[in-house]
Structure 1
Amino acid sequence: MAELTRRALVHDRHGPPEEVLELRSEPLPPPDAGEVLLEVEAAAINPADLGRINGSYGTLARLPAVAGLEGVGRVVAIGPGVGQLKPGNRVRVPGDRGAWCDRLVCSADDLLMVPESLPVEQAAMAFVNPPTAWRLLHDFVALQPGDWVVQNAGNSAVGQLVIQLARIKGWKSISLVRRPEAADALRAVGADVVLLDDDEAVAAVRDRTGKKPPRLALNSVGGPSAFRLTRMLAPEGCHVTFGGMARDPAPFPTRHLIFNDISLRGFWLTRWMQTASRTGIRELFTTLFPLIESGRLKVAVEAVYPLEDYRTALKRAFSPGRRGKVLFRPAARS
């Protein structure tokens, strides 16, 4: 195989992405025994990527590191001893190797095959938010048809997927948002109730749910918003935190924890993936892929950029008011 180079968004230290990220061309060795060479088709930009770059995330890559936790690519070449994969196969890009690049070499072990029927941008976004939404709705409360789920940040990618999955399963969703103009987009994807995330929301939720208040609350904001969610829950309800966008501590009402027997839990998809069996992981994606293929689960796309425009892409990905995800299309070169 001829000598290869690749382009990658790399950081040698932790800090703000606009200060520490650099687009580099570097040599890439051919795949060794048990390895494959991948070309990246598309890679998503997620809040977790920001945490990995600035050093605030739960796990950090060894530096220097290629950024990006989520993407989809194709096998270009295989090393000796690789039997299950062949050139042309579409696979998940392993996040621990960095997805914001045009090529990478990685172990063939546990690479997840991705159906050709998935649109490339949806395929690139299939491995963080959809499984997070699924696990949040299935791992903490045995929801029954007609049960209510309440969440803040309803217009986030996970929030919209929670709405879609709840509709599929026959559960009802209440989504709290900071901006009134976000409501129409959430109703379009199936939200039953959309409310402003303010002090009036607690009474509004009680009015809408009557004698059947939510049994599950999903918090990705923190601060006063997390407090309000706890007050909305039914006795023996469960409050699950999986994000902290407000970067404020989450105070909880002691009265509700004691007298309503509210459970406080946390969820991190990375830990679930680390502890789940290979069979469990494959079964999860075997369930999710057909829903994505059919369009019943869909993440909106705000914009797509080449790697060269990474500064613009990152600014847009984390700007307020955006209506979807921002992705990279690396466009690997010969």
Structure 2
Amino acid sequence: MQQNAIRHHSFGKPLEVLKLESIEQPQPQAGEVRVRLERATINPSDYGMIGGSYGSLRELPAVAGREGVGVVEALGAGVSGVEIGTRVRFPGEDGAWQASACVAAEDLLVVPAEVPVDQAAISFINPPTAYCLLKKIVDLQAGDWVVQNAGNSAVGLSVIQMAKAFGLKTISQVRREELVEPLKAMGADHVVLEGSGWPKSVADLTGGAPVRLALNSIGGESAIDQIKALGEGGTQVTFGGMVGDKVRFPTRFLIFNDVRLTGFWWDQFGKRHGVDAVRAIMAEVYAMMADGRLKLPIEQSYPFSEYKAAIQHDSQPRLGKILLHP
């Protein structure tokens, strides 16, 4: 039996190398289940994998995509304790932009029934990244200040809402003025425009309190502004590099302000700490999604047959995520 998949046979620009193809539907082996895709997400890291620049790459030809949600539709021999129809994380190791995939039953991450399917689809990378950035890097206390760039990204929106739930204060950097009010409506304390010279007035924004943590996913001057705004002993965490611009080494701030620079990668966290640690963090994420403390906007969902339109839409200014479905 055949199924649809969005694949690439070489690395390059998505619209140039991706193709909608028919491939053999996988059959679950002993101890495995087959999961049928409901929704898959388009993430910036997907483009890195398609382009060949990401930290870990798949063997070609490769199915694109890293994140999605589905339901168990077939059980392999010897599988027990798993029911057909259970909603789970779609197995993304071999690519999420395909109609179905198999995974060991013991590795399933079950999604609580009270989490909406569209929210579940975008729950596995960006929200846990935001949770770890706020909880695993610096010992933040209620009332502490955090600054982040790309405040309108999925991680950024997660940080805003989680920080509010944790009693933290946020300054979110954005590039477009029309994003200021929507982010404030989600709980952002301050929203500042990139290039506006905002670090000079950071003390006014925080009431004189130091900024303890800076979250950088852009690089370039945006990252330098964060370092200027950090308080003494503050930490900047880099977890992305959207613009790819060089960042001037902040010698003065390292010496006189004792600023710390570090990095974070959710994939690496999972490998280092294991499945139990990942499940514990996901339980926290799902609790917030279930009770409404965390709700991320969805822009639109496209069928696989319209993947080119989906990628083009994803490149346009927006606030919500773009999803794919078979």
Give secondary structure in 2 for the equivalent of 1:215: strand
* Match status 1:322 vs 2:302: no
Counterpart position of 2:32? 35
Do the aligned partners of 1:199 and 1:228 also contact (CA within 8 Å) in 2? no
Query: Distance between the aligned counterparts of 1:145 and 1:252, measured in 2?
Result: 31
Contact 1:226 1:252 in 2 (8 A): no
1:140-165 CA deviation, whole Å, 9 max, x = no partner?
11111111000111111111110101
Residue 148 (str. 1) matches residue 145 (str. 2): yes
2:26–2:101 Cα contact (<8 Å) kept = no
SS of 2:106 mapped into structure 1: coil
Asked if the contact 1:226/1:251 (under 8 Å) is kept, the reply is: no
Of 175, 197, 200, the residue aligned with 2:197 is 200
Secondary structure at 1:145 match in 2:
coil
2:203 counterpart of 1:183: no
Q: TM-score, structure 2 length as denominator?
A: 0.97
Q: Which residue type is aligned with residue 54 of structure 1?
A: G
Q: Is the Cα contact below 8 Å between 2:46 and 2:64 reproduced in 1?
A: yes
Compute the displacement of 1:250 (Å). 1.8
Question: Is the aligned partner of 1:213 residue 2:224?
Answer: no
Distance across 1 between alignment mates of 2:29 and 2:137: 42
Q: Which runs of 4+ in 1 moved over 2 A?
A: 105-109
Residues 257/9 of structure 1: CA separation in 2 closer, same or farther (3 Å cut): same
Mapped partners of 1:84, 1:55: distance in 2: 39
Could you tell me whether the CA contact under 8 Å between 2:35 and 2:91 is conserved in 1? no
Identity %: 49
Q: Deviations over 1:193-240 (max 9, x none)?
A: 011111511112122124312100001110011111001011111000
Q: 5+ unaligned residues in a row in structure 1: which ranges?
A: none
C-alpha deviation, 1:178, in angstroms: 0.9
Residues 112-160 of structure 1, C-alpha deviation per residue, up to 9 Å, x if partnerless? 0111211111000000110000000111111111110001111111111
Corresponding residue for residue 305 of structure 1: 302
Q: Secondary structure at the match of 1:96?
A: coil
Find the aligned partners of 1:228 and 1:247 in 2 and give their Cα distance: 16
- Listed as ranges, the matches of 1:71-86 within 5 Å are 71-86=68-83
Partner of 1:278: 275
* Distance in 2 of aligned mates of 1:226 and 1:42: 33
**Residues matched between the structures, number:** 326
Q: 2:242 maps to which residue?
A: 245
| Runs of 5+ consecutive residues of structure 2 not aligned to the other structure | none
SS in 2 for 1:72: strand
Residue 41 (structure 1) shift: 0.6
2:105 match: 108
RMSD: 1.1
Aligned equivalents of 1:230, 1:201: Cα separation in 2:
12
Note closer, same or farther for the CA distance 1:29–1:277 as it changes in structure 2 (3 Å cut).
closer
Distance 2:279 2:159 in 1: 20
Shift in Å, 1:84:
3.1
- Which residue matches 1:45? 42
Structure 2 CA distance for aligned equivalents of residues 301 and 226 of structure 1: 27
- Matched residues in 1 for 2:226 and 2:245: separation? 15
Secondary structure at the counterpart of residue 297 of structure 1: coil
